[in-house]
Amino acid sequence: MTYQAEIRVWRGDMTGGGFATYQVEADEGEVVLDLVHRLQATQAPDLAVRWNCKAGKCGSCSAEINGRPRLLCMTRMSALPPGEPVTITPLRAFPVIRDLVTDVSFNYTKAREIPSFAAPQGLAPGEYRMSQEDVNRSQEFRKCIECYLCQDTCHVVRDHEENKSAFAGPRYLMRIAELDMHPLDTADRQKAAQEVHGLGYCNITKCCTDVCPEGIRITDNALIPLKERVADRKYDPLVWLGSKITRRR
Ligand code: SF4
Ligand code: SF4
Ligand code: FES
């Protein structure tokens, strides 16, 4: 069944902009990115939008649909209120380059601030076997497609540009948690999580978890355990010392 959908797209650049309203043909089963492509093909060839895989795997097509951070390629038109206009806006937490394309370099900066995995010295390949439990834990975090929807939705930076320098955001606090939980990592992650990467700003609202297209339980499985580890260390330094000694064995 073909029908006419009304879509309102934010058009503009870093100097300003506003909404443009279009009537676009839609077919049953289509996703919002299909309509954006049809709009580009028929009415707005200069509309800027970022996408690559159209399969929910590259993390490029992040935007806000009816005010909620989502992937354009994974949001079915049938999942939106029927007969109502669909509003598409760029990610609010990052500066607009043009139309739906934002400058997400904040995330690359935060990624570079986290020291990489620090293996124990002298451990040869094959000398250590990870338990399946440890493997499963990090595999959940490694499903991340770096779409930055969690970074966009987190209230700590969404409306507070001033917090960006002191807060890594859920995606990168999750990376720190992953490394801190790794049985062989020797770096001191917990002190930096609190003092450099802003773990204390997170008040576990779970908004990041709610928008994650990979279903990663960011708050429950990464942020809360990391907070608990930091608290354990603060109130019982022997806990931290013991974990380090165990790791190096
Ligand atoms: S749980 Fe923490 S990191 Fe996630 S959205 Fe809430 S404040 Fe931000
Ligand atoms: S954790 Fe989820 S929401 Fe955040 S960047 Fe990764 S895939 Fe996207
Ligand atoms: S185009 Fe790759 S996730 Fe949407």
Tell me, in angstroms, the distance from the centre of ligand 1 to residue 147's CA: 16
Helix (H, G, I), strand (E, B) or coil at 63: strand
**CATH number, span 2-102:** 3.10.20.30
Atom of ligand 3 minimally distant from the CA of 213: 3
What does the pLDDT look like over 130-163, one tens digit per residue? 899 999 999 999 999 999 999 999 999 999 999 9
Which residues are within 8 A (CB) of 206 and not within 5 positions of it... i.e. 6 or more apart?
219, 220
CB of 51 within 6 A of ligand 3: the answer is yes
CA distances from 11 to 7, 93, 203 (A): 12, 17, 34
CB of 96 within 6 A of ligand 2: the answer is no
CB of 146 within 6 A of ligand 3: the answer is no
Strands 2-13 and 16-27: antiparallel
Give the closest ligand to the alpha carbon of residue 51: 3
- Give the pLDDT of residue 243: 59
Whether residue 201 contacts residue 148, with contact meaning beta carbons closer than 8 Å, is answered with: no
Task: Report the distance separating Cα 217 and Cα 212, nearest Å.
Answer: 8
Give the closest ligand to the alpha carbon of residue 203: 1
Which residues are within 8 A (CB) of 212 and not within 5 positions of it... i.e. 6 or more apart?
149, 150, 218
Domain ranges of the chain: 2-102, 105-248
**Mean pLDDT for all residues in the chain:** 94
- Give the pLDDT of residue 249: 42
- Give the pLDDT of residue 155: 98
**CATH number, span 105-248:** 1.10.1060.10
For tokens 């058009």, what's the residue?
Answer: 11
Residue 33, H or E segment:
helix 32-42
What does the pLDDT look like over 208-238, one tens digit per residue? 999 999 999 999 999 999 999 998 876 666 6
Q: What is the pTM of this model?
A: 0.93
Has residue 248 got a pLDDT over 50?
no
Tell me what the mean pLDDT of segment 97-115 comes to. Answer: 98
| Test site for ligand 2: of 216, 219, 221, most ligand atoms within 8 A of the Cβ | 216
| Test site for ligand 1: of 208, 210, 220, 226, most ligand atoms within 8 A of the Cβ | 208
CB of 71 within 6 A of ligand 2: the answer is no
- Give the pLDDT of residue 239: 65
Has residue 50 got a pLDDT over 50?
yes
Task: Report the distance separating Cα 238 and Cα 106, nearest Å.
Answer: 36
| Test site for ligand 3: of 49, 52, 64, 101, most ligand atoms within 8 A of the Cβ | 52
CB of 73 within 6 A of ligand 3: the answer is yes
Cβ neighbourhood burial of 161 (10 Å; 0-12, 13-18, 19+)? exposed
